[in-house]
Structure 1
Amino acid sequence: MITRLYIGNLNFAITEAGLQEMVGRMTSLPPAHIDRAEVIRDRDTGRSRGFGFVELANSEAAQRAMSELDGIEVMGRTLKVQIAKPRSPMRSRA
């Protein structure tokens, strides 16, 4: 089962490819365990909001990545890493 990690306090210049590469380089995970990376962007400006998500192959890989990445400094910023919470349903703006 795929597990998503929230990675906060990212440098605003990081891209999806850069985030995926960073996770692969700074953890002991094999590249096959890192399925996808997403940097969340402002809807109007397209600029990074400073956080993103990484999908990992299973919960064991996610736990290992979280313990290896949480609190380390990358590109001048201290990362905050945790298991992503399930997305709540969107409320209508009526």
Structure 2
Amino acid sequence: MAGFREICGTFLKPRTSLRSSFLPSQVILLRRITTRLFIKGISFSSTELTFKEAFSKYGEVLEASIIRDKDKGRSKGYGYVTFATSHDAIKALDDMNGKLMDGRVVFVDLARPRRRMDSCMPISSGKPEPVESAAAE
């Protein structure tokens, strides 16, 4: 039991920097998903161009998108940045988290992998068909 607490304690300790927050074994697991970052707290006046310029000083930005309201076209206050390499993404995460961008503090985190909507529970398309039991035959 003490060994379990020790193992869990290494994962649950609060850390201040990304470089010190992950063990080497965890970094190996995160290499595939660290090229895309989630940024929240984006100013409503920010554009994709200014958003991309703010993050391009940390490396090559492949895509920078601000999520917008479909009806009003106004920014929802969050977006995603995709980097060419995971090293650039980690450097941007360390440096930009909690910094001012266009007059607002932005918070940067690793983006979660996209969920596939077709892998969820099947959707019913009508009344269920009656199941014939083997005992009736």
Which TM-score applies when normalising by structure 1? 0.82
Report 1:24-39 matches (<5 A).
24=56, 27=57, 29-30=58-59, 33-39=60-66
Q: Which has the higher strand share?
A: 1
Higher-Rg member (1/2): 2
Aligned length: 88
> CA contact under 8 A between 2:46 and 2:102: conserved in structure 1?
no
Tell me the C-alpha RMSD between the 2 structures. 2.1
Report whether the alignment pairs 1:61 with 2:93: no
1:83 Cα deviation after fit: 1.0
- Pick aligned residue for 2:44 from 7, 12, 20: 12
Structure 2 unmatched ranges of 5 or more: 1-31, 126-137
1:12 Cα deviation after fit: 0.5
For 1:3-30, what per-residue CA distance to the aligned partner results, in whole angstroms no more than 9, with x for missing partners?
1111110001111111001112xx4x24
1:74 Cα deviation after fit: 1.8
Q: Which has the higher helix share?
A: 2
- For 1:66, what is the secondary structure of its paired residue? helix
Runs of 4+ residues deviating >3 angstroms: none
